[in-house]
A and B are shown apart, each in its own frame.
Chain A
Amino acid sequence: MSFIKLMAKNPFRNRARLALSVIGIAIGIATIVALGMVTDGLKLSVEEQLKTGGADFVVVKNTTSESSSGSEAINEKRVDEISKMNGVKQAAGISTSGMTVNGDRLNLAGVNSKDLNMLGAKITQGKAFSADDKNELILGKLASDRLKKKVGDTVTLNGNKYTITGIFETGNVNLDSIGALPLKKLQKMDEEDGKVYMIYVKINSGQDLKTVSKSVEKAYPGELTSLASLEDYQKADNSLNMIETATMAISLLAIIVGGIGIINTMIMSVFERTREIGVLKSVGWKSRRILGMILGESIVLTLIAGMVGIILGFIGIEVIMNFSEIPIPLTFTPVLALKALGIAILVGIIGGLYPAIRASRLAPTEALRYE
């Protein structure tokens, strides 16, 4: 039997203790995986949204600037101005809002019918709304499934009935969960005439995306900012950063709690096996081999916990999201799995080090006398 096999065999001596230790660490790893899936999902969704449709970049209000009024709304005049700028092919003002429909929350996007192409929405049933003055609405596939509405049905928004003219799909969970209606109608509903929240910009072919997006920012210094990548988005919106920070904090907590658990488990194990360690020393095992064995056992234990945690986290968050009313896109990547296993190994090393050092330093005669 190889040394690695010997190490892998030892944690299974006390199965009840192994199970409890594994569960303790697996919960921490599961939390890391679940939060990681949400964060990665949100990031991917943002990236998809930035890439979706005809828009090359999105312009939003610069809320981080000192000169900003604090409001996130942009004057609709800017849409026209930007559309006339060098290199810009099309600019579309988008307004957003949220309404309750049959007790379910529905996020809405207001967009002019001529700019529907900018959403990247592919109408799969019915047709898009054609006029900006009619009470018409198109629903994303996920929203129509959730609300159990089909083409021709009506929904009541702010006391007015809107007819569903079409169902669209973008492939993006967030966009497929919304409804889109004429911009003017949404502005009126929200009493925000002349205001938009985003401007989707399409550039002429052959133009450099960065140059055009920067020229928009330069034209409205401190007022507008352009989002062409995930990094831009994260600079403009702190929420993703906050989730990432929270994930990191929870990961750290999981490492500390898991590490303490492992120290406890491994110290118990070393304590119970004191005489055995004495025998190993008496047959000529070097201190570093004993250190390696205990540390290896600790890592085996946390690797098992890591794998259990990954499965638990994956299943857990999928189940939770099934019951959630807010659709949050989830992404599971090999990088996330490796990160979770890496954290598990780190917990194994941190938690196993002290018991391993203690075991390796046991004096053989004292260890052999241990009752």
Chain B
Amino acid sequence: MNNENIVEINNLKKGFDKGRIKALNGIDLQIRKGEFVSIIGPSGSGKSTLLNMIGALDTADEGLIRVDGNDLSQKNDLSDFRSKKIGFIFQLHNLIPNLNVLENVTIPMYGNGYNSKQMSARAMKLLKYVKLQDKATRKPTELSGGERQRVAIARALANKPSIVLADEPTGSLDSKNGQMILKRLKELHEKENVTLIMVTHDMNVASMADRTIKVLDGKIQT
């Protein structure tokens, strides 16, 4: 971890339903490069919206959001940014059912200058990293919940992102598999120095992070 901020957010506001619902109501936040941050808060507090904004899945109504040097409030097409800078891990693994494990990991690499062989080689390397190389040709339905989530981790790392965003990554897993996934994420953060931002509602899970941010009613609680 160094002192350079990878995420800078000032007075970020986001509303839904024509502004009637204020999901984010003036967020100020800085996250350093290589930091492991957990965002906690009850349902509807705005934590997932905040994560989506950092991941450029949604745009701000007001305020400034700069991620890895990119001013997201100024850009129209953010697909390139998402492709090169962000790795997403969802609560539900969201793997493509008709593709095998290896093919699922290659999905983010399309359009990034890899050929088929390079894509497969990189995906296999990532599968080794999550210890699933022997299941490369299996379909997601043939894997356990924990294994699927490990495939999702490998997919998130496909394009060597600077930030990995995890939205309740253990939310659909039993405690044993959940612990295993958290261990993998912690390892990823420590060994690869990847900035990790994780949304959770579980205090135990959140405590594994370097820093915990509490969001309530669209604002950060200090």
Contacts and interface: CB of A to CB of B under 8 A. Distances in A.
B82 A284 contact: yes
A102 interface: no
B97 A13 contact: yes
B57 A3 contact: no
Interface stretch (A115-123, A274-282, A344-352): A274-282
A54 interface: no
A6 B120 CA distance: 13
Interface string A7-48: 001101100000000000000000000000000000000000
Interface stretch (A219-227, A285-293, A317-325): A285-293
A284 B52 CA distance: 13
Nearest to B55: A282
Given A12-B98, A289-B111, A282 B106 contact: no
B52 A365 contact: yes
A2 B79 contact: no
Q: How large is the interface on A (under 10, 10 to 19, 20 to 34, 35 or more residues)?
A: 20 to 34
Interface string A291-331: 00000000000000000000000000000000000000000
B82 A368 contact: no
A276 B83 contact: no
Given A1-B103, A12-B98, A368-B90, A284 B116 contact: no
A117 B88 CA distance: 84
B155 interface: yes
B116 A282 contact: no
A331 B88 CA distance: 58
Given A1-B103, A3-B110, A282 B97 contact: no
B107 interface: yes
A276 B95 CA distance: 8
Nearest to A290: B79
A368 B57 contact: yes
B52 A286 contact: no
B77 A280 contact: no
B220 to A, nearest CB: 20
Given A13-B97, A276-B96, A283-B107, A365 B57 contact: yes
B58 A1 contact: no
A283 B104 CA distance: 11
B83 A284 contact: yes
Given A1-B103, A12-B98, A364-B57, A289 B110 contact: yes
A280 B106 CA distance: 11
8 contacts: A1-B103, A1-B106, A6-B103, A13-B98, A278-B94, A283-B82, A284-B81, A368-B90
Interface of A: 1-3, 6, 9-10, 12-13, 275-276, 278-287, 289, 363-365, 368
Given A1-B106, A278-B94, A281-B57, 4 more contacts: A12-B98, A279-B88, A280-B107, A283-B107
